[in-house]
Amino acid sequence: MSDASNDARENFFGQRAHSYRLSARHARGQDLDRLLAHLDPPEGGQALDLATGAGHVAVRLAGAGLRVTALDPTAAMLDEARELARERGAEVAFVQTVAEHLPFADDTFDVAVCRRAAHHFSDLAQALSEAARVLKPGGVLGISDMTAPREAMPDLNRIEQIRDPSHVQARTPDEWVGLLLGAGLRLQVLEVLVEPMTPEEWLSPVTPEEPEGAQALLQIHEFEEPTRSMLTPEGTFVKYRLLAVAHKPA
């Protein structure tokens, strides 16, 4: 990752880490429940939470009886994740590193999860290859990330980069299939979940009063077809979340 990209990530998440720990949408959500249900992790198994953020996934995995290692590149996020784990009585090992370069041996983990973070990775193909490398044969990778119809993807990436300068790229479901197969994984589940929300809810934790927030909201309301289909007549923003589960061949 370039110095500029690293600075953008540190600035954005360093300033908003506490908001992510308090966020009900990150603590819960149908994508989290469905993702964990599809993984069906073995009790007592080793789990890796890639880009844990404020630790919500790591805490859920630990609550399911897994031995969890959670990583994130941002120190402020890891501080919030440690505090969340302490509050919930969850045992989690935290590591500060990026998903593209994992400091773990081959064939270490039974399960790896990456929720709502992959669009920040500077090299997603490399991150997926690393996840596949550290999974045991037969191990499972679960992904939840933003997506959109192909025709709307350029506009989605543009407004996300306005809202959050650390955003790199969201992918279509077709692109995700290619990336997962390219990492040597076999796809088991591919779903797209629909999550309607107000534009202000999409913007969070950025506020409409911040310059980035005001500009992003303005851009949403200037969408033209076909991207305009992501806004309902009532002004609701339709966010799409991709859910993918793939396993490493035994």
Of residues 185 and 230, more confidently modeled: 185
Of residues 19 and 150, more confidently modeled: 150
- Cα 108 to Cα 68, 81, 138: the distances in Å are 12, 22, 11
Give the model's pLDDT for residue 162. 95
Query: ω into residue 226 within 30 of 0, thus cis?
Result: yes
Average confidence (pLDDT) over 213-217: 95
- Cα 176 to Cα 145, 183, 191: the distances in Å are 10, 11, 11
Q: Report the C-alpha gap between 132 and 212 in whole angstroms.
A: 36
Interhelix angle 56-63/75-88, rounded to 10 degrees, is: 30
Q: Report the C-alpha gap between 231 and 216 in whole angstroms.
A: 14
pTM above 0.85, yes or no: yes
Does the structure show a pLDDT above 80 at 3? no
- Burial class from Cβ neighbours inside 10 Å (0-12, 13-18, 19+) for residue 2 reads exposed
Cβ distance 72 to 92 under 8 Å?
A: no
Q: Report the C-alpha gap between 118 and 170 in whole angstroms.
A: 8
pLDDT per residue as tens digits for the range 25-58: 887 889 999 999 999 888 899 999 999 999 999 9
Average pLDDT, the chain: 93
How many residues does this entry show for the chain? 250
Q: Report the C-alpha gap between 125 and 135 in whole angstroms.
A: 16
Does the structure show a pLDDT above 70 at 2? no
**Domain residue extents for the chain:** 3-149+166-196+238-247
For domain 3-149+166-196+238-247, the question of CATH label 3.40.50.150 is answered with yes
> Which amino acid makes up residue 217?
L
Q: Report the C-alpha gap between 149 and 157 in whole angstroms.
A: 12
